[in-house]
Structure 1
Amino acid sequence: MTMTILRTGPLTVLKDEGRPGHAGQGVAPSGAVDRSAYARANALAGNPRGTAALECTLGGLRVRCDVPATLVLTGTDAVLTVDGVRTAVEQVVEVPAGAVVAVTVPRRGLRSYLAVRGGFAVPAVLGSRSTDQLAGMGPPRPAVGDTLPIGPPPAAGDPVEPPPGVPDDAPLEVDLGPRDDWFTAAAIETLLSAEFTVSPASDSVGLRLAGPVLARARTEELPSEGVVRGAVQVPPDGHPIIFQADHPVTGGYPVIAVLTPAAADRAAQARPGARLRFAVAPA
């Protein structure tokens, strides 16, 4: 039971829930950049939590199903085409053997998740089938001509949760800290009132933001400390970086705030040029 890669698009990698618990070994969790879209894809496909799926950036993926397969695509408004015929957004599709399936280029959003019933049964590294693009750990990026093994169909998947109804222009919710005291009161006010633009120099490691400078109240060097997905780190130039799934284990610049998990998922879909705002999460 296999799927053959015919075209990868700009970037396609394998992802699951990641490999938490190895920070002491210098290994970051990695995992899907948009966790909720990834989980929804598996649930719709009838897979249990943690099943490996393909994370496809800006569409362009093209595959051939070498056996009959059940597929679903989530995360953006991109859709699957089966032998050139378009399907509906987030439609569960039964694909015959030999059919060619493609992911269209999304108009909204950045990362789509292609799940197949049974998941992709590539070898796990430290218990995960996620490709960590910063550390170079996990399965290699699929290339044209690769065949990905598909696991046996599971007995039952997880319940499907509908996506949250959040407007595209809603602020990203954050909890201030742990190093907000390293910044001036004006910098905190700016973070929570100004608009920032996603830089083209962004990837699954971090979103680099252009906009007003966040000034520090303290200028001494901060010893490196652990960081998490969604941490908003501010380097000396004052322009914040939002760490994403493939973030490093530690960082040496102060973290002014941390996105909530739901906000981190929304940030995962922000394209270069997107405008972002922040707000303190409700208590």
Structure 2
Amino acid sequence: MTGPAPRPATGLEVLRPGALTTVQDLGRPGHAHLGVPRSGALDSGAYRLANRLLGNPPGAAALETTLDGVRLRALSPVVVAVTGAPCAVRLCGRPAAWGAPVRLRAGAELDVGRAEAGLRSYLAVRGGFAVPPVLGSRSTDLLSGLGPAPLAAGAVLPVGAPGPDPVHGVDVPAAPGPPAELVLPLRPGPRADWFEPAAIAGLWRSRYRVSAASNRIGLRTEGPALVRSRGGELASEGMVLGAVQVPPDGRPVVFLADHPVTGGYPVLGVVPAGPALDAAAQARPGTTVRFVAATAEGRPPPA
């Protein structure tokens, strides 16, 4: 009679998965023609910083937590770093550093606490999480179901071999905090002509709020409805990261990493990828949203 399979002696065991913790990397671009979204870390700046702190390559897989963090046990010695939404980090019950490398011995428990501001924290491990890649990426895609499932208690996350670059502390002061007001630079088109000119003019003056229905697929807004200049249906067409689609209720939706690759509602404009979409990843429900005309470089105009 055989006993249960032995537990792996390396990696990190999930003790508390949190509300939604997923494995993310730079995503799987280039597969839209197959109906596969890009996915990847929502706050790319915070994700990249966590890997730089550990000397990981830029695309090493990390964990993205949502609001209430995660708790893990090291099954072998590892080095980790937590960035993104500020939160309490505790090692074996004692305070540990946020935004800096933290060394865990085998058996040590790491608790990444509730976000004190913002929504999403990032936990990287030296060597990256070595879950099996799908279409060249280890990212969890909530829309298509590709990649590893969201974390569950008892799961063991394998860790890859460390690279040659050293562990160091860098540029944490440059990491922006969660936004008090989310300012989104918008490039109009391709379907801005489906809206009344007064609606477009009113968009620049209006204030919206982040809806509690927002998720990794899209940031939904609450506020003034945009009036269309034409009725009828629009044939499905390709969608891109940052596309601002307007469903029948007239409230803009900003597509994020797990967005669908096609859609049938008119796209008023596109928020260029970059710091604004990183900030959108950290905007809590109720945060004020303001759309502004993008400059040629895709940034908001000077205040």
Please, which of 278, 283, 286 is the counterpart of residue 270 of structure 1?
A: 283
Q: What SS is found at the alignment partner of 2:254?
A: strand
Please, which of 72, 92, 97 is the counterpart of residue 83 of structure 1?
A: 92
Distance 2:166 2:61 in 1: 13
- Flag the 1:113–1:59 CA change in 2: closer, same or farther, 3 A: same
Residue 129 (structure 2) pairs with residue 130 (structure 1): no
> Which residue is 2:301 aligned to?
none
Deviation of 1:88 (Å): 3.4
> Which residue is 1:62 aligned to?
71
Q: Is the 1:172–1:276 Cα contact (8 Å) retained in structure 2?
A: yes
Residue 198 (structure 2) pairs with residue 186 (structure 1): yes
- Flag the 1:157–1:190 CA change in 2: closer, same or farther, 3 A: farther
Q: Is the 1:73–1:79 Cα contact (8 Å) retained in structure 2?
A: no
Number of matched pairs: 283
Residue type of the alignment partner of 2:290? R
Distance 1:170 1:199 in 2: 13
When the two chains are superposed, the root-mean-square deviation of aligned CA atoms in Å is 1.8
> Which residue is 1:35 aligned to?
44
Residue type of the alignment partner of 1:130? S
Q: Among all aligned residue pairs of Structure 1 and Structure 2, give the percentage whose two residues are the same amino acid.
A: 52
Q: TM-score, normalised by structure 1?
A: 0.95
Q: What SS is found at the alignment partner of 1:277?
A: strand
Larger radius of gyration, structure 1 or 2? Answer: 2
Q: TM-score, normalised by structure 2?
A: 0.89
Residue type of the alignment partner of 1:199? S
Structure 2, unmatched stretches of 5+, are: 1-9, 297-303
- Flag the 1:244–1:271 CA change in 2: closer, same or farther, 3 A: same
> Which residue is 2:61 aligned to?
52
> Which residue is 1:241 aligned to?
253
**Once the two structures are superposed, what CA deviation does each residue of 1:40-94 show, in whole Å capped at 9, x if it has no partner?**
1111121101110000001231000111111111111113210111223312211
Deviation of 1:98 (Å): 1.0
Q: What SS is found at the alignment partner of 1:268?
A: helix
Residue 299 (structure 2) pairs with residue 282 (structure 1): no
**Once the two structures are superposed, what CA deviation does each residue of 1:11-41 show, in whole Å capped at 9, x if it has no partner?**
1011011111111111111111111111111
Residue 226 (structure 2) pairs with residue 226 (structure 1): no
Distance 2:84 2:63 in 1: 11
Distance 1:166 1:191 in 2: 23
Residue type of the alignment partner of 2:180? D
Instruction: Give 1:72-221 correspondences, 5 Å limit.
Output: 72-156=81-165, 162-164=174-176, 168-169=180-181, 171-221=183-233
Residue type of the alignment partner of 1:54? L
Deviation of 1:136 (Å): 0.8
Residue type of the alignment partner of 2:127? G
Structure 1, unmatched stretches of 5+, are: none
